[in-house]
A and B are shown apart, each in its own frame.
Chain A
């Protein structure tokens, strides 16, 4: 059957939601203190009187899983949208330097904001603005979708990232903001329950971004074929693209504000999904949200349980998976004479 049927949408999303649920249970039941899945369930349904178990669950594990879900969904959907808008399967908020721009702006407020009377509550806003600015610059420098070769786009991203990293380290040094490894964690990407204050704002941003991407998912299909084709099939391309860029910048900004530079999620998740469920964005966008959330929570759970007693930042895990995949995709694109 050539059409995207309701059954297929339900089946794919249902299966992904089920997997996500399993991952969440696994994540909640994993940690240095020995809580069995049974203990966890007891606490969750309110059958347990164990104060420590409750605290571990509600103050440490669940907030972290919650952040992981939001950040993973945001990055994966942003990757999917960027790939369609730029008609480039290698696009990803991290690779393109959009996350870098968001992180630079976030750190700027964190490091220097107190000088101008900005509280740390302004960090997500700043990250959003930074992401938006980086996206706009990227569009400008690369000459727009289709016109830029994949290579020039990627090079632009590399330069953005190098600049952002240098800027972050510089700001941190100038402001004497080397509080231990905080900056390091921003640069590599890290989930921490500390950031849960911002969770409401992050949830709202991700919700909004996902909503826009879903509503415009059919337009994404057409824009992925080229601006002229989309225009000629009735899509107001400029308007829809503005909305989509706004939505993705907001999602990336929110994700970066609470997790720093977690890389490659937006590359790995849509790519793996396309192999299995195809390229129709009406299914790909919601599937990316579910799979991205699951992927990041799983990566984070592995990151904090792999080494006994010590934690890896989650960004290290995603980069270890994503780096090789990126090289593989790039090679394949070169062999086939360009991806765009």
Chain B
């Protein structure tokens, strides 16, 4: 673990200067989509060095917040600030060097190869025209290696499994060299081992002074991997704070509309599971 961190630090010392930690702030943000208000009065910030989990039921506005932060969507009220700058006023390239998004999945119409896709993460650092530099290639190879997918570099993306594709997208986002990493259910298609590995990388990323905003439906894993949790519900923020403070039975019932057990596991980490499933009774 320390060895890995050391290797990274060494690499980063000679590589792209890491954007120093930046604050991502949602300032009294409201969003309307198709005439319907999705979010109202959302106000919180993500500080350098933090991993923040974004939880809530389907349609609560989690992905919408990520899209706001990556400048794809703009709020109808309020601002999204990166440092002191409004995300909406920054050029695409400038924003892309500071904020990277790992989407849920990728549908590719053409058989791009894995290596090519990861290298595309360097696009915001390159001139409009031209080929990749040695440095770009080095970063891409290192990222492929870090996620254990170096052997897939020459494969067509369409031949990969959903989990492998997710690792590729993660590698691409890291190669982008951002200060803020946005992850939209980064572990949805991954097995337990890979989930843990990805979240470990997210934590390592944050330890270097940068920060991550992670959308997840795996509440227990979010409790373990996030410094703070933002729980969305009722068109806004329903709870914010340390995992144990936010992921309470009451909060979760309000947010998800079902009974949920939330208790410390043997090692002290929070375990969050739904109430025992009731079998539909045969008499009815």
Binding site for B on A (CB under 8 A): 1-6, 9, 83-84, 87-89, 214-219, 221-222, 224-226, 228-229, 231-236, 274, 278-280, 282, 339-340
Contact = CB atoms under 8 A, between A and B. Distances in A.
Chain B interface mostly? mixed
B136 interface: yes
Kindly name the residue among A9, A216, A235 whose own CB sees the greatest number of chain B CB atoms within 10 A.
Answer: A235
A278 B118 CA distance: 15
Interface in B117-161: 117-121, 123-124, 126, 128-132, 136-137, 140-141, 153-154
B92 A235 contact: yes
B131 to A, nearest CB: 6
Interface of B: 67, 70-72, 91-97, 99-101, 103, 106-121, 123-124, 126, 128-132, 136-137, 140-141, 153-154, 176
A337 B144 CA distance: 29
Contact of A4 (B92, B97, B107, B132): B132
Contact of B107 (A214, A216, A226, A234): A226
A274 B156 CA distance: 12
A87 B115 contact: no
Contacts of A88: 109
22 contacts: A2-B141, A4-B116, A5-B131, A6-B131, A84-B110, A218-B123, A218-B130, A224-B108, A224-B109, A225-B112, A225-B117, A226-B106, A231-B72, A232-B101, A233-B123, A234-B95, A234-B97, A236-B91, A274-B110, A278-B116, A279-B112, A339-B109
A2 B114 CA distance: 8
Kindly name the residue among A89, A234, A340 whose own CB sees the greatest number of chain B CB atoms within 10 A.
Answer: A234
A79 to B, nearest CB: 13
A228 B126 contact: no
A5 B137 CA distance: 11
A278 B119 CA distance: 15
Nearest first, the 3 A-B pairs at minimum CB distance are A2-B115, A234-B96, A234-B124
B230 to A, nearest CB: 21
Nearest to A280: B116
Contacts of A274: 110-111
A224 B107 CA distance: 10
A2 B107 contact: no
A279 B112 CA distance: 6
B106 A2 contact: no
A6 B132 CA distance: 10
B125 to A, nearest CB: 9
A285 B140 CA distance: 24
A117 to B, nearest CB: 43
Contacts of A225: 106, 108, 112, 117, 120
A218 B96 CA distance: 15
Given A87-B109, A232-B101, A222 B123 contact: yes
Contact of A221 (B118, B120, B129, B136): B120
A297 B40 CA distance: 62
Contacts of B131: 3-6, 9, 282
B72 A228 contact: yes
B137 A234 contact: no
A215 B124 contact: no
A155 to B, nearest CB: 18
B153 A2 contact: yes
Contacts of B91: 236
A279 B72 contact: no
Contacts of B72: 228, 231-232
A231 B69 CA distance: 12
B113 A278 contact: yes
B176 A233 contact: yes
B107 A233 contact: no
Contacts of B140: 2-3
Given A4-B116, A226-B106, A235-B92, 5 more contacts: A2-B118, A3-B136, A225-B112, A226-B107, A233-B96
Given A225-B106, A278-B113, A279-B111, A3 B119 contact: yes
Contacts of B118: 2
Contact of A236 (B92, B99, B120): B92
Nearest to A2: B115
B129 A233 contact: no
B110 to A, nearest CB: 4
